[in-house]
Structure 1
Amino acid sequence: MARYPAVACFAMGRPVFALALAAAGATLLAGAPAGARGVSPPAHLAAGGSSSGGPALTLLSQSPWVGPGQSMQLRLGLGGAPASAASITFTLFSHLTSRSAFAETAGGTAVGNSLGSSTVQASTLAPDPQGGVDVTVPVESGDAAAAGTGAFTANLDCAAGSCGGVYPLRVQLSVAGGTRTSLITYLVYANPPADTQRLRLALVMPLSLPLGGPGRAVPQVQDTALDTLDNLDEAMSAHSAAPLTLYPEPASVAALAASSHPKAKSALAGLQSLSGQPGRQVLTGPYVPVDPDALSAAGLEGELVQQVRRGGQALAPLRGGGRTWVVPGPITASSVSAVESLGYDRLALPVSDVVQGGGPSLTITQPFTLSAGRGVTATAAEMDGELASDMAAGTGGTTFLAAYRMLADLALVYYEQPNALSPRGVLVLPSAGALPAAGFVDTVLAALGTDPLVAPVTVDQLFTDVPTAPSTRRLASASSSSSLPAKQIRDGRARLMAFSTAVDAAAAPVVRSLDDLLLSSENSQLRAAQQQQAVAAFTGALSGELHTVSIRADTIKLTSTAAKVPITITKQSAYGVTAVLRISGDKVVFPAGAAQDPGPVCRSPSVRSSAGRSTFSCVAAIGHATNAVYVDMRARATGDFRLVVTLTSPSGGLVLATTHVTVHSMSTSLVAVGLSLAALLVLLVWWGRTWWRRHPPGRGAHVRRRQPSQVA
């Protein structure tokens, strides 16, 4: 596996080894469609902090939380600014009381009262081997006095037992010449009771490859994406004790399995190893992201079944399973019923899919019963959009700042209802195209291993550990519409099914590849034009397979009335083909099927005549490059005429090959010969009689003439 540089982070005052991705800005879903990209990170995070044009101040690591008598450790990058010419100002603000206030601080705006501020020269701080500086911040609270000394003492100004919370900490870098940059991170103070119910966190990691090819519908096996996948795998594998849910896209896993690229094989092996670790769950779903409502509106309900079937096949090596369906967008009651019929009785929903109540704006931290209307209900959990935004920010130079921001956000959710008697939990799924860097994942998982406020769980554990809320919530109204090329998909499915009946087991990879192309065209993240291009790619691929079988268009000469005529079928594919061969014409007669002996290629020959047209058919097993079928026939006339020859799938509905064979008949029948001889005889008799009449024999030619004297 690829290695990436290591930096130190600090948990509860103790150094913890953390991994960081050198090219932290790379995301595995860089090729996702524009319309499917995730939430953009806040402006100050996108740049690493607010700036007036000076060197960028970055957070390299920090203590995820501190307890009584502990100090917060920070490691800061100065963006190349010399420490001798730089100063750093620390300002601590009062603890946050709402997530909306937290979002303001994430946007770079300080919220609340200032609890203290101090400026130190960067040159007085301990230099860091990575090129930054290390900062120690002693923390003084009502629970314990500050221990030791540091650049700045954080006085929480709280009474004993009431100090727990999330405190914004603004760090500002000033460089000689007047330039300044700043960032806001968080001091999380944790002193919960030993028996506290920690907040359950079901972190779902989607894994997929960028899309490309016709319509940008096919996962692309590329070096950059494979390196990113390898780094993420290493980061997750390094923390095998932390429960985690994987949500790999089946189409991407299938692409890895089909690729001969060494890195693809390594990535697939890594995923298989990762999925086999204790505490890891792999969610299955459709082969590509689909909208069940769009499929239903297009009359393609059967395609949802095909999507789930193929998705399960692709993820079988990763031990995929589970009862939870991840809903990427709007959903209706009919779709809830459809996915339930496929075995998914739990839903992971975006917040927008549920009607929000008018009560206190606390985070939803329990699964609930969803009423979808028309008597349809399901158990559901909301996917936390704000935490997903935290993850979306975990790229580039903001990798670690975003990671600690997410940990602080989770702590704030805990402190909304601290020390609750009943377990609570949240579910987080990054938006498509917004998967964070490996350094982000490593930092978060490392901290969760000993977090006193948050406990990682799998999705299944979230639904079983956290009790379902007693109240029922309603599904938000959503309209069903579809831009899918329904007719093309429906026709494509029928042709593919017919093709599958015509080929043997050796063609299974070909059939699967064609099926994958058709399923990929249904991706809900594609635009309508892209879906049409993807269907066209499937049609072209199927036509290419059909062109491997052909019937030779020969000219056949008949020199007698009846003859055994050869029909030649050629095959270029490596798999065998079974098809129905039909030969028909209106100037030939085929003897009855029992009298036919077409050879080993054909079986079950039969003959049918209708409306003056005779048709021979048989089931042809085409297993060689050249295959000959011998058909007995009798010409009804002399001269040139054509026979129509077709190969169709056994189930019908798909023509594999068709051509015309020209027959040149030079034969003469005995009847015709007899009639011709009789006509000739009649003609000869007529000629003879005519000649006889015109040339009668001379009468009395040999009689002696009478003498005149003998006449009276």
Structure 2
Amino acid sequence: MTKRIAPRARFSASWAGGVIALISITSLVMGGVSANDPSGGAFAAPSRATEALSLLGQDPYTVSGGELNLEVSISSSLSEPTDNVVITAQSSVTNRAAFTRVVNGTNTGSVLDQVEIALTALPSPGGSARAISLTLGAAGALALPALSAPGVYPLTIALEQANGQVRESFTTFAVVVEGGLFASPVNNEPRLAVAWVWPLVAGPAELPNGSADPAVSAAALPTGRLGRQVSALSRHLDIPITISPGPETVTARNTSPLRSGLLAVAARAQVLAGPYVPVDIPSLIENLLSGIADNELATGNTALSEYFSSPPDIRTALANPVSPGALTLLRARGTTRVAISNSALVNGSRSVPTAPFSLKITPPAGVNETTISAVASDDGIANLLTGASPVLSGQLVLAALALNAYASEGAAKGTVLVNPFDLDIPEETFSTILNGLRNHPLLKPVTLESFFSEVPAVQTSTGALETRELTTYSPPAPPVKASALNATANRVLALQTFIGSDAREVRTANQWLLRAPSATFTEAAGQARARRSLKDAQARVTAALAQIEIPNPGTITLTSENGSIPLTFRNNLDQTVRVRISLASEKLSFPTGSTQELELPPANTTVRIPVQARTPGTFVLRLNVASSDGLLIIAVQEFKVRSTAVSTIGIILMIGAVVVLAAWWILDARARRKKRREKTAVAA
């Protein structure tokens, strides 16, 4: 049924004032404005309007027979006083496919009602804003009586010239419900549980030269991508939500503007653990880098625990992307439930709305099959966040959630909404949704933890827990070679064993290592930055080892056969370390062994190594200093040793030679005397 109303006969100045007053009251009750929301609720206008016609605010739902209040912006420079605003209601949508067709403008359904209002008759709360109030499901001065049954109705708002030509239009949805503010609308069943997960993460915040990444710094400002999200959340602390903060992102020095708001949000929200930087865990595992993947999760958990002064929830994880290997790793770290994208599931469209189910983890050959509790996020609704009009995008999300509530057909189900990783939208969109979720009769905002506990798991017709399977995911290669990542990881781990995991040098080297496989490092520029991150990690290890100073090369003099060589080491680290020294020389022997372990506390340590010279002269002594496990070579040095001592054997040989020589001389002298006597006797 099409109905056109002559608005001038119905709009008077007193009626306009009544609309403004009604909108003010409705925005307080239905928009749910609280002390945490100074913006004025769903009717807060954006700073400027760039379109001829745009949506500034709308009631998130309307009780059948009640008033639907809208506020639109109409540009005076793009309209004429003789223009009209035409509101057309179409038949309700009953499934996601029909909803999508309306949003895409390919099908708006049959027309149920239509109202035409002169532009000059619309009351203005100020500026370009115009207020509209319509009675739904009942007769009235401005009414859409056909919208009486509960449902989600497309509502097209058009700015038309006097000749009927449309200047501009947009389509929103009117959500009609039965009963009072807190009534259960669907056959007295519970409201649809809505778990909204906010990944608050960016790429690595520090550049290889040590300076802050300007893009991350900008994102953390109050007007930046992350700053706007934290601002919206901090003004709606009464709405249960789940955040997944990037550990490297929030702990970086250039993201400090986020801190106060984020701490306030975390005190009321569920905080999920996650990798230190955004990484593709399936890619790491497939490339035999599961140790680095585990390190990402462990370091991320530690960083968030220190930042928030309490540990994040490791039992619940946001797994995107996901693979059986990634799920196996998460289970090993204590995760018992995951949220995954519905596109990662076989027949993922079955997951709208969703409820917990059992997700099969297909193991390698020879390993028993396991499962994990899971829910599927609604990617279709998440895609609505990035529309061109901020408030309209928020209203579309609320309408899609309401449609899910009606589509659940009395079953206890819910919707998991996960913001895109790099979401960059105006704060008005977030505020529109958060205000709309407050006291909504169809929707119940919950944390992800509450979602798992409150929404019954899906069961088969036989009563068994429904088991779902993942689609095949082919991950990309890491941004740097796996061999380079493993080699650097081994050196960082060896340094950790050498000086302790809490050492500043170890933590810094590990952070550079973990930045290298960031999923944000794509294409040539990103891959070059990833390689530089690995070089920085290696450089940090080398710099830490350089804090162990070994004796300067020089000449050591031995004045006796058995002596000792003094070696002075200086440890400039804050920790006591154990080193292994190895000595080698062709002319020296080492009575206590050529390899020894030494304990080096901070500052200087002098040790004397017993030696025995095999021969006098000048020769080379080689000193090799390594970590106690031999995995890190700290230094290799050569010394000159001059021995002026004569050995005992040498002395014995010399004495023996003298004795032999003396005996020979005596015998020779006697022989000569005897010969002379014999010659004398013959002559006589």
Alignment TM class, shorter chain as reference: 0.7 to 0.9
The alignment yields a C-alpha RMSD, in angstroms, of 4.2
The reply on whether 1:569 has 2:558 as its aligned counterpart is: no
**Partner Cα distance (2:410, 2:276) in 1:** 41
Equivalent AA in structure 1 for residue 379 of structure 2: G
Match of 1:621 among 585, 588, 600: 600
Q: Matches of residues 69-88 of structure 1 in structure 2 within 5 Å?
A: 69-78=65-74, 81=77, 87-88=83-84
1:123 Cα deviation from its structure 2 partner: 4.5
1:168 to 152, 155, 158: 155
> Partners in 1 of 2:549 and 2:150 — Cα distance?
81
Aligned residue runs from structure 1 range 311-390, under 5 A = 311-316=300-305, 317-321=309-313, 323-332=315-324, 334-356=325-347, 363-373=352-362, 375-390=369-384
SS at match of 1:564: strand
Relative to structure 1, the CA distance from residue 77 to residue 109 in structure 2 (aligned partners, 3 Å threshold; closer, same or farther) is farther
1:590–1:73 Cα change, 3 Å: same
Question: Deviation at 1:61?
Answer: 1.9
Residue 392 of structure 1 is matched in structure 2 by: 386
Tell me by how many angstroms 1:578 deviates.
Answer: 2.8
3-state SS in 1 of match to 2:262: helix
Q: Does 1:188 align with 2:175?
A: yes
Aligned equivalents of 2:210 and 2:346: distance in 1? 33
Distance 1:371 1:230, change over 3 A: closer
Q: 1:458 is matched with which residue: 447, 463, 475?
A: 447
Shift of 1:455: 0.9
- Taking the aligned partners of 2:105 and 2:470, their CA distance within structure 1 comes to 33
Name which of 586, 608, 620 aligns with 1:642. Answer: 620
Length-normalised TM-score, structure 2 = 0.78
| Equivalent position of 2:45 in the other structure | none
Q: Hey, what's the Cα distance between the residues in 2 that align with 1:190 and 1:684?
A: 129
Residue by residue, what CA displacement relative to the aligned partner does 1:536-574 show, whole Å, maximum 9, x if unpaired? Answer: 332222222222223233212334434332223234444
Cα distance change, pair 155–119 in 1 and its aligned pair in 2 (3 A): closer
After TM superposition, list the pairs within 5 Å mapping 1:108-257 onto structure 2: 108-109=105-106, 111-117=108-114, 120=117, 122-129=119-126, 131-141=127-137, 144-146=138-140, 153-158=142-147, 160=148, 162-172=149-159, 180-191=167-178, 194-196=183-185, 197-213=190-206, 220=213, 222=217, 224-227=219-222, 228=224, 229-253=226-250, 255-256=251-252
1:109-156 CA distance string (max 9 Å, x none): 551123455555544433343x32222131241xx323x5xxxx3525
- The 8 Å contact of residues 361 and 371 in structure 2, kept in 1 or not, is answered as yes
- Contact 1:88/1:120, CA 8 A, preserved across alignment: yes
Q: Within 5 Å, which residues of 2 pair with 1:507-526?
A: 508-526=503-521
| 626-635 vs 440-449, greater mean Cα deviation | 626-635
Deviation digits for residues 2-26 of structure 1 (CA, Å, limit 9, x no counterpart): xxxxxx99698334555669xxxxx
Deviations 1:13-67 (A, max 9, x none): 334555669xxxxxxxxxxxxxxxxxxxxxxxxxx99xxxx94533222222222
Structure 2 stretches lacking a partner, 5+ long: 1-20, 41-47, 363-367, 461-465, 678-684
Superposed displacement of residue 685, structure 1: 10
Query: How far apart are 1:466 and its partner, in Å?
Result: 1.4
TM (norm. structure 1) is 0.75
Contact 2:191/2:443 (CA < 8 Å) preserved in 1?
yes
Q: Deviations over 1:382-427 (max 9, x none)?
A: 110011112234xxx632221111111111222224xx44422010
Helix, strand or coil for the counterpart of 1:344? coil
Q: Which runs of 5+ in 1 are unaligned?
A: 1-7, 22-47, 592-606, 609-614, 700-712
Structure of higher RCO (CA pairs closer than 8 Å, 6+ residues apart):
1
- Which protein is richer in helix relative to its size? 2
The one-letter amino acid paired with 1:244 is I
Match of 1:97 among 69, 94, 98: 94
1:690 to 1:156, Cα distance in 2 relative to 1, 3 A: farther
Counterpart contact for 1:210–1:219, Cα < 8 Å? no
Q: What is the deviation of 1:191?
A: 2.2
**1:322 offset after TM fit, Å?**
5.1
Provide the secondary structure at the position in 1 that maps to 2:276. coil
Matched residues, number: 618
Tell whether the 8 Å contact from 1:564 to 1:631 is kept in structure 2 after alignment. yes
> What is the aligned-residue identity percentage?
23
Q: What's the counterpart of residue 406 of structure 2?
A: 415
SS in 2 for 1:127: coil
